Structure 1
């Protein structure tokens, strides 16, 4: 299935991944409508050529009358803070948004949805973690909400003629990223190049996927996978530690700070210290990332320094 000439709704399209996805879809010839409440997104990120609806998707009527001409939904909107101080509210918001979207799709006869899940659904699983690993035991409310949403989508896919592309992301990095380790380190070192505070012990180690590779993978899966429920890990075969990220950021800024650690194996409550997803299923579908984790981190560091200076 080609995305060219498709009519696509992107929820969360003013956010980091959503705004890049909107640009990619427009470039591929799709007609795009962005839905975002702008609580985390930025209106200025939405490119010319996309229609925009400001709406709160926890409202069951938010999409009323807006899906009649839509072929495919990319659902990225979510409350994303893993260490939130309102875990039950976050779980309720995320699952309510997905339920409301599914109901609106059913009312409008839309039968295709691509959903951005997360590696957090696996919890602290053996690495590399394949899509069929079980039991899934997330350790954060965010991960629990993503797993619950996957359940809602699976139930609809297998009982109501819905096609779902379900993406379990590694850490996606690139321009416009905020509230994550790379921009955090850049901002700290621009403010004080002599000292860098690192959450945890610095030995947390995860896969990092550049946004360009992420978009390529998402579009490839949608265009080539055609089961009712298509679940794919999106990541790299490599990992990068927090200490290594600190080294890369310092190198790109030309500084040599003293490092201070807050201690413990986790950076925050709900943080999974070690994560690497198996991408064998994705490779079997014909796609491999162009960049390693280190290469994704370094390219993103350069891009973000240009934005944040």
Structure 2
């Protein structure tokens, strides 16, 4: 297929481009490089089946021009603000970069008759709960602006899918880790320890516990859903059955860096406004479709740390 990948120079998007090209598709990436990095796709730039455009999805006339010329068969929409802390400080960040980017893509898909969409969603739409999260869990009460922006996006995608006959696949990501990441707990801890190898300050009490998924497992899961799920509107949780505590991540990083650092905690059950201290997915739906992650949560974290340290 001829595919548009928004946010394709980002952490997850660049890995997805690698897989799509391996499968024989032609790719156009649109990325404003606010969070994405051109070096993530530098190995692809000379290929005839790959093109990159440094453009902003909020510029609707430019985006329409890209759709008019691109004649895309499918859109993989990954562009969003992925820094939850930044979005909590300024609500306009997620309103623009998470929701309005989605709305502009949907408008262009309608106008230029593109009938297939993959959307990268998140566990943050579920809000704060100790319940095991199924795809039909509700009511949905996100506690971060990022989660709210993704949930609003899902709502408009549902409406566009129904009204304009767009086949849609939505995957709700857990915490994703691996090479090319630009933020997150592993990234932060490594940089803190590089600045001060004696002490690692951890936000919260370290008991925060979530499932972590290795990025290459994630993109394989995305493609599995898009190839195997055949409904008009498809929604799946992606993740692993196990979870990892923040204090376990801190200990793994100290070990992998060969340090004897002391860990100090700031206290409280969360790290920042909008942080969800814990969640757990029910993966029955994706497992019944035939997919499960190759790495469990701890193995994903360990592998991501090693990749980040160049091991």
Give the SS at the match of 1:10.
strand
Helix, strand or coil for the counterpart of 2:310? helix
Matched, 1:228 2:232: yes
Which residue does the alignment assign to 2:63? 63
Question: Take 1:92 and 1:210, find their aligned partners in 2: how far apart are those partners?
Answer: 28
* 2:276 matches 1:281: no
Of stretches 9-18 and 61-70 in structure 1, the one that deviates more from structure 2 is 61-70
User: Counterpart of 2:4 in 1: which secondary structure?
Assistant: strand
Deviation for aligned residue 1:89: 4.2
**SS of equivalent residue, structure 1 residue 9:** strand
Q: Does 1:34 align with 2:36?
A: no
Structure 2 match to 1:145 = 149
**Which segment drifts farther, 96-105 or 130-139?**
96-105
Residue 116 of structure 1 aligns to a residue whose secondary structure is: strand
**How far did 1:94 drift?**
2.1
RMSD between aligned alpha carbons?
Answer: 1.2
Q: Alpha-carbon deviations, 1:244-276, whole Å to 9, x = none?
A: 001111111111211111111111110000011
- Deviates further, 268-277 or 55-64: 55-64
Residue of structure 2 aligned with 1:94, choices 98, 111, 131: 98
The answer (yes or no) to whether the contact 1:170–1:276 under 8 Å persists in 2 is no
State the partner residue of 2:253: 249
* Matched position secondary structure for 1:245: helix
Name the residue aligned to 1:77: 79
TM alignment of 1:178-193, pairs within 5 A: 178-193=182-197
| Structure 1: 4+ residue segments shifted above 3 A | none
Secondary structure class of the residue paired with 2:28: strand
Residue 3 of structure 1 is matched in structure 2 by none
Q: Please show how residues 1-309 of structure 1 align to structure 2 within 5 Å.
A: 6-46=1-41, 47-48=44-45, 49=47, 50-67=50-67, 68-83=70-85, 84=87, 85-306=89-310
In structure 1, how many angstroms separate the alpha carbons of the residues matched to 2:129 and 2:26? 39
Contact 2:35 2:182 in 1 (8 A): no
Higher helix share: 2
Structure 1 distance, partners of 2:260, 2:19, is 37
SS at match of 1:215: helix
Give deviations 1:12-51, integer Å, cap 9, x for gaps.
Answer: 0111001111111111111000000111111121223220
**SS in structure 2 of the partner of residue 274 of structure 1:** coil
Whole-Å separation in 1 of the counterparts to 2:199 and 2:97: 38
Gaps of at least 5 residues in structure 1 are 1-5
The CA deviation string for residues 199-251 of structure 1, in whole angstroms up to 9 with x for no partner, is 11111000000011101100000001111111100111000000000111111
TM-score scaled by length of structure 1:
0.95
Separation in 2, partners of 1:190, 1:69: 47
Q: Structure 2 regions of 5+ residues with no counterpart?
A: none
The CA distance in 1 between the partners of 2:298 and 2:97, in whole Å, is: 34
Query: Retained in 2: the 8 A contact 1:127–1:278?
Result: no
Inter-partner Cα distance in structure 2 for 1:223 and 1:80: 26
The CA distance in 1 between the partners of 2:232 and 2:123, in whole Å, is 21
CA spacing shift, 1:179–1:89, aligned 2, 3 Å: closer
Distance in 2, Cα, partners of 1:179 & 1:117: 18
Query: What displacement does 1:69 show?
Result: 2.1
In structure 2, distance between residues paired with 1:95 and 1:254: 42
**Partner SS, residue 304 of structure 2:** helix
